[in-house]
Amino acid sequence: MVSVWLLLAVPVFASAATVTYDFNITWVNENPDNAFERPVIGINGQWPLPIMTATVGDRVVVNVQNHLGNQSTSLHFHGLYMNGSTEMDGPVAATQCPIAPESKFTYDFNITQPGTYWYHSHDSGQYPDGIRAPLIIHDPDSPYKDQYDEELVLSISDWYHDQMADLIKQFISVTNPTGAEPVPDAALFNDTQNLTTPVQPGKTYMFRIVNIGAFAGQYFWMEGHTMRIVEVDGIYTEPAEADMIYLTAAQRYSVLVTTKDDASTNFAYVASMDEDLFDTIPDSLNPNVTGWLVYDSSVPNPAPALLDSFDPFDDFNLVPTDKEPLWDRVDYSFNLDVAMNNLGDGANYAFFNDITYIRPKVPTLYTALSSGPTAFNSTIYSPDTNAFILQKNQVVEIILNNNDPGKHPFHLHGHSFQAIVRSEEEAGNYVGNETFPAIPMRRDTFMVRPNGNFVIRFRADNPGIWLFHCHIEWHIASGLVATMIEAPDVLQQTISIPRDHIDSCIAEKLPTEGNAAGNTVDLFDLSGAHKPPPPLPAGFEARGIVALVFSCLCAFLGVGVIAWYGAGEIGKKEPVTGGDTAETAAAAAAAADGESR
Ligand SMILES: *[C@@H]1O[C@H](CO)[C@@H](O)[C@H](O)[C@H]1NC(C)=O
Ligand SMILES: *[C@@H]1O[C@H](CO)[C@@H](O)[C@H](O)[C@H]1NC(C)=O
Ligand SMILES: *[C@@H]1O[C@H](CO)[C@@H](O)[C@H](O)[C@H]1NC(C)=O
Ligand SMILES: *[C@@H]1O[C@H](CO)[C@@H](O)[C@H](O)[C@H]1NC(C)=O
Ligand SMILES: *[C@@H]1O[C@H](CO)[C@@H](O)[C@H](O)[C@H]1NC(C)=O
Ligand SMILES: *[C@@H]1O[C@H](CO)[C@@H](O)[C@H](O)[C@H]1NC(C)=O
Ligand SMILES: *[C@@H]1O[C@H](CO)[C@@H](O)[C@H](O)[C@H]1NC(C)=O
Ligand SMILES: *[C@@H]1O[C@H](CO)[C@@H](O)[C@H](O)[C@H]1NC(C)=O
Ligand SMILES: *[C@@H]1O[C@H](CO)[C@@H](O)[C@H](O)[C@H]1NC(C)=O
Ligand SMILES: [Cu+2]
């Protein structure tokens, strides 16, 4: 009798396990591309970081200690819905204060979904300094569990030799009026290169592939082997054969790969950074990283063949296995029009609907919790957070028009969404004459093409504060962020903020109540809120700055900057940090960083 009871009890316990991680976050030195050693952000003295794993139904507890000494931090668990626990989502200024140096902070949440995810810092553009790694949620009920022998996680990323704090200063600067993004120095697999993956003949492997990079989309292919896509950003799909896939920053795929019966040859697999994203391509740049399926370690690993062009699988054609039909009755539809432009400090910023995101002083969630019925008025979150109020269970549609010649991968926190339109490049704004798929593809990160558009839909069934932003870390820093305020009335009834989260605000001297400016008396008085730099003076076009700066730069950098300040009106700056005196373009840039302190 006892043993039968145990047999029955074990699975019940297993599905309710608590998985605890203790993460001591510190600097360590690493040289992943064998070209430059640099400080990177490690966990428990190690880098690459540990891959987090859990099973659907588990509770995950992450005890963070920030021992970086000179930077704050946070952790976001990319793609997890955080049902009932939006306060554990991680983006600084949206759902928490930064975790101050020498502070502790606990993330505690339930896992309600299977799939391939990742975790990363969501503070001050910090994750490309190394604080990013895969997060895998196993599923005892996976429709594909009997179709593979073994699973292998594979991260792909771009890599910089310089640190983000320095690169962001250079990026958002009067000396970079066109907004050219820093170009990565290398590409990595699993935070290294020349990766060898031992495989056995005649087996099927499930590769869980995650782009944990800062900027570059990656083409990925395996020589001599076909991939069968079965999962995309946590959504199971009908098997789809692909010779090549494209992963934007933050996207994930699970692919089944069946090995050959003959074990006499090893095969290369390759990732190649999408150079369309780079304004300039340094001669020294190798955009490629290679790994090998090693059938026999005693035979050589062949160099990969060079391709002339890339023809990746179009993710728009994927079909979720659950066949969730199109949300065809829309309750709330709005546009987000993307543009890049200069502000009065001469630097280049990114805009949704002419607004560049500026972090609020009070985390948006804390404003929602402390504002009673006024939580439904978006003004209190500050116009500069691009706040949209969603009512519980509304079907929400976002029409995104990209008035910029770049590709942008957009990510929605707290949801996956149906992707129902994606135009070709140069199609202009959405005109509304498309036929929608009956069973749309769903994922949490989706790319818009240059000067094109897309339309996505989701159901507001997950009360929380959820950011919607481009996942190119440069563009978060320059303001391409909007905020979804989903069912604030439900949040007020269900969410309470743990003591250690409040303590982080106290350590950073940040208010925890009131509107975006920390005003608790008059919620509509936003005086003292962080503001963007002023617009360009009337009649002064962005092209003028570019011409001015470049002509000056050509002459002499120092003289150029003096000439810039001499240009009068244009150089005039307004305080951006409420009382701070450091009025450099870099300070404006830091204040404009949605995730910055
Ligand atoms: C965290 O790491 C730092 C640096 O190695 C060390 O000084 C500190 O004792 C560690 N803390 C814990 C709790 O392990
Ligand atoms: C990988 O191999 C290439 C070619 O041999 C070499 O240039 C590069 O340094 C290697 N990378 C690492 C991380 O060892
Ligand atoms: C923080 O510390 C690291 C490691 O010592 C150092 O390389 C980096 O320059 C510092 N960064 C800042 C912004 O102070
Ligand atoms: C997590 O699951 C436990 C056990 O089912 C439940 O008691 C708790 O309320 C859940 N937490 C959240 C935030 O939903
Ligand atoms: C990547 O690294 C992880 C962690 O070390 C390892 O489990 C995995 O097998 C590696 N992936 C491949 C494809 O070699
Ligand atoms: C990178 O790979 C692509 C595709 O094979 C190839 O066209 C390109 O020449 C490679 N670049 C370098 C520097 O090897
Ligand atoms: C929000 O409050 C402002 C100021 O009181 C008011 O002008 C505006 O109409 C309100 N908006 C909504 C949607 O109620
Ligand atoms: C929609 O309208 C645009 C512009 O008028 C046209 O170019 C496009 O072909 C139309 N698409 C469909 C599916 O009818
Ligand atoms: C969690 O939130 C997602 C996203 O809105 C929703 O689809 C799902 O039903 C929720 N799951 C649970 C268990 O509440
Ligand atoms: Cu972008």
Work out whether strand 453-459 and strand 417-422 pair parallel, antiparallel, or are unpaired.
antiparallel
How do residues 274-301 score in pLDDT, each as one tens digit? 999 999 999 999 999 999 999 999 999 9
The share of the chain scoring above pLDDT 90, in percent, equals 87
Cβ-in-10-Å burial (0-12, 13-18, 19+) of 25 comes to buried
pLDDT given for residue 552 in this prediction:
62
583 has pLDDT over 90 = no
Average pLDDT, the chain: 91
- Mutation to probe ligand 8, out of 431, 436, 451, 455 (largest number of atoms < 8 A from CB): 431
The share of the chain scoring above pLDDT 70, in percent, equals 89
Give the number of whichever ligand sits closest to the CA of residue 427.
Answer: 8
Tokens of 104: 């502790």
Average pLDDT over residues 6-24: 67
CA distances, 284 to each of 4, 124, 184, 186, 310 (Å): 65, 29, 11, 10, 21
Average pLDDT over residues 511-521: 98
If you take atom 4 of ligand 9, which residue's CA is the nearest one? 415
> What is the CB neighbour count within 10 angstroms for residue 538?
6
Q: Which residues surround ligand 10, an ion (CB under 5 A)?
A: 408, 470, 472, 475
pLDDT given for residue 539 in this prediction:
79
3-state SS, residue 256? strand
> Rounded distance, CA 1 to CA 181, Å?
67
Helices 585-592 and 164-171 pack at an angle, to 10 degrees, of 110
Cα 154 to chain center, whole Å?
18
pLDDT given for residue 16 in this prediction:
76
If you take atom 6 of ligand 3, which residue's CA is the nearest one? 39
For ligand 7, the distance from its centroid to the CA atom of residue 531, given in whole angstroms, is 20
Contact 99, 74 (CB under 8 A): yes
Q: Can you tell me which atom of ligand 5 is nearest the CA of 152? A: 9
Closest CA to 175 of 597, 582, 595, 565: 565
pLDDT given for residue 175 in this prediction:
97
How do residues 378-419 score in pLDDT, each as one tens digit? 999 999 999 999 999 999 999 999 999 999 999 999 999 999
If you take atom 10 of ligand 8, which residue's CA is the nearest one? 433
How do residues 125-183 score in pLDDT, each as one tens digit? 999 999 999 999 999 999 999 999 999 999 999 999 999 999 999 999 999 999 999 99
Residue-range domain boundaries for the chain? 332-507, 543-574
4 has pLDDT over 60 = no
For ligand 3, the distance from its centroid to the CA atom of residue 26, given in whole angstroms, is 11
* Lowest mean pLDDT segment, chosen from 45-54, 351-360, 536-545: 536-545
> Rounded distance, CA 454 to CA 134, Å?
27
574 has pLDDT over 50 = no
Task: Kindly report the CATH number that applies to the domain delimited by 332-507.
Answer: 2.60.40.420
For ligand 10, the distance from its centroid to the CA atom of residue 409, given in whole angstroms, is 6
341 has pLDDT over 70 = yes
Q: Is the beta carbon of 87 within 6 A of some atom in ligand 2?
A: no
> Rounded distance, CA 306 to CA 321, Å?
35
- Mutation to probe ligand 4, out of 59, 111, 493 (largest number of atoms < 8 A from CB): 59
For ligand 5, the distance from its centroid to the CA atom of residue 219, given in whole angstroms, is 19
40 has pLDDT over 60 = yes
Give the number of whichever ligand sits closest to the CA of residue 283.
Answer: 6
Phi first, then psi, for residue 374 (nearest 5°) are -70, -10
Q: Is the beta carbon of 431 within 6 A of some atom in ligand 8?
A: yes
Bridge-partner residues for 418, per DSSP?
Answer: 442, 457
Enumerate residues 6+ apart whose C-beta is below 8 A from 461.
Answer: 392, 393
Q: Which H or E run contains 486?
A: strand 481-486
pTM for this predicted structure: 0.93
Enumerate residues 6+ apart whose C-beta is below 8 A from 564.
Answer: 174, 346, 548, 549, 552, 570, 571
For ligand 10, the distance from its centroid to the CA atom of residue 450, given in whole angstroms, is 11
Q: Which H or E run contains 473?
A: helix 473-477
